[in-house]
Amino acid sequence: MTVMPSVVVLISGRGSNMVALLDAHLPLRILAVISNRSDAQGLEQARSRGIPAEVVDHRLYATREDFDGALQGCISRFQPDMVVLAGFMRILTPGFVRHYEGRLLNIHPSLLPAFPGLDTHRRALAEGVRVHGCTVHFVTPELDHGPIVAQAVVPVFPEDTEALLAHRVLSLEHVLYPQVLRWWAAGRLRLTPEGRVEVAGRPAWGPSGCYPGPEQ
């Protein structure tokens, strides 16, 4: 019997991207959800679906290295094939990232390398960009600069507020992240020696300028 690949999901808040992954019924096993905050709403979402939910509270550790060591220990209990960041609001130390090199995915609410870090929608509006979006990438020690797997694009309208733009981008995140995890579970993602991502059978531009288009 073929064993499906497995992931652990890291969250810090409501876990809407985690829920999107669950709702997509992907060909993988979500072994656990781990948060750095005990009040993260996504923990109850996971528990209600029978998924183990753990807390490694960053406030209990004196240094980032101490916290990341505890987090790594918690993840290691589940032995996942991939660690998936889904709104995990902690900057990870280089040692942690190197330990999971090639096995650590993140989704960021901008078209990287534009607008790394926080407040992406406010900054996009302030710069007057005409398109915005989200990026799924492999995590490296440099913040929000890892190899890009896929991006999805939304237009920016003159009447947009930060909240409107954030809602439009989040809707795409809920499509793009499950699609990338579906590719990974099917063995279609490959990191080249040059640090680029190749996706076997990558589709063409999708409807409404969303790349990649919907795919099963």
How many angstroms separate the CA atoms of 44 and 13, rounded?
11
Element (H, E) at 122: helix 120-127
How many angstroms separate the CA atoms of 187 and 171, rounded?
26
Say what the pLDDT of residue 58 is: 97
CB neighbours of 201 closer than 8 A, spacing ≥ 6?
188
The residue type at 173: E
How many angstroms separate the CA atoms of 132 and 174, rounded?
15
The model's pTM is 0.92
Burial class of residue 190 (count of CB atoms within 10 Å of its CB; 0-12, 13-18, 19+): exposed
Say what the pLDDT of residue 3 is: 83
The residue type at 5: P
pLDDT digits (tens, 9 = 90+) for 196-205: 999 988 765 4
Q: What ranges do the domains of the chain cover? A: 6-209
- Active-site amino acid positions: 108
pLDDT digits (tens, 9 = 90+) for 102-157: 999 999 999 999 999 999 999 999 999 999 999 999 999 999 999 999 999 999 99
For 6-209, which CATH superfamily applies? Answer: Formyl transferase, N-terminal domain (3.40.50.170)
Say what the pLDDT of residue 22 is: 96
Say what the pLDDT of residue 1 is: 61
Phi and psi (nearest 5°) for 198? -110, 135
